[in-house]
Amino acid sequence: MRLARYLGGGMVTLDDAPVPECPTGGLLVRTAVCGLCSGELMEWYMDQKAPHVLGHEVSGWVEVSEDERFGVGELVFVHHHAPCLECELCRRGAYVHCPRWKATRLDPGGMSEMFAAGPENLTDAFVVEGIVPEAAALIEPLACVVKSMGRAGFSFEAEEGEEGEEEEEDVNAGGEETPCAVVGLGSMGLAHLLLSPAGSVGFETNPARREWAEGLGLRARPPETGQSFTTVFVCPGSQEAIDFALSIAAEDATIVLFAPLPPGRPARLDLHDVYFRDIRLITSYSCGPKDTRTAYGLLAAGLVAPEQIVSNWIGLEDLPSAYGAMKRGEILKAMVRFGT
């Protein structure tokens, strides 16, 4: 089978590899769609993993099943990390810090024609109905946005439909529809803005990304002061983005840091100013099972659609060039359709 491997230094190659065996109690999945995550563009993060098979924003059809909950031929979502659901960290909802969450992975990765998932991964996996494979592959990235917004006080009330689909009826932040700000309008920033209350504003330096957001009916501006916000989501992992967020944060505001800075690079922060303005700085890392279920409901309800945040649908052979283009900011987001 063919797969995409990150070699280091921003280089991606296509390789041949044997099809993995179905783990005892697990699944072998034929990949339908896999997205390229913005986190996979960070050299400081990826080089420590190299060589590494890309891909975790993935959906596919069950090829072999050793779990009766998943039938052969069914479309499934499988998270690349999954918690035990039993430890103290899981009991308080800190799923991404569960030792099993950190230890689990897809074999060899989502950006391959086939992948295997052991039973440990199936605590955050489910059969997908009512949405296309392209939308199912967005469950994981959208779940990260759900967690981010939840940590800022937003709630997503979803009810399960009669046929197992989930419908999203109400989105609110602490009971109030107060506009918020999103710094950075890559695909994840767009997802934040799409789920934000009416009147929210996205700030972006790239004119093409602002134009894309405006084409979706969203408010997009270059970074500018003059308006303050009680909630600010910072999507790029940069000091400049943090500085700008602080400049537009109102007193008693919440700032959510959605991406990390490189290690060993301390952030500049005037704690005197932050303290006396009562600014809440919150981080949000990845997502857990509750978030993925909620994201599924949002996608099933059509509140976020693949065509809104994916600019380039490609075949696997086009991934190396698309990787470079996405890293340079020339395209918004690439997703691979397998078998095309």
293 within some domain = no
267 shares its domain with 316: no
Instruction: Choose one of 283, 301, 324: the last residue of a domain.
Output: 283
107 shares its domain with 218: no
Alpha-carbon span 300 to 177, nearest angstrom = 23
Buried b / exposed e over 41-60, threshold 16 CB at 10 Å, is: beeeebeeeeebbbbbbbbb
271 shares its domain with 316: no
Overall pTM > 0.85: yes
pLDDT tens string, the chain, 340 residues long: the values are 999 999 999 999 999 999 999 999 999 999 999 999 999 999 999 999 999 999 999 999 999 999 999 999 999 999 999 999 999 999 999 999 999 999 999 999 999 999 999 999 999 999 999 999 999 999 999 999 999 999 999 998 654 433 334 343 343 333 357 999 999 999 999 999 999 999 999 999 999 999 999 999 999 999 999 999 999 999 999 999 999 999 999 999 999 999 999 998 888 999 999 999 999 999 999 999 999 999 999 999 999 999 999 999 999 999 999 999 999 999 999 999 998 5
6 shares its domain with 132: yes
296 within some domain = no
CB 218 within 8 A of CB 240: no
Peptide bond preceding 51: is omega within 30 degrees of 0, i.e. cis?
A: yes
128 shares its domain with 200: no
Structural domain of residue 58, as residue ranges?
Answer: 2-138+310-337
- With the C-alpha atoms ordered 240, 245, 247, 252, is the resulting torsion angle positive or negative? negative
Any idea what DSSP says for residue 267? P
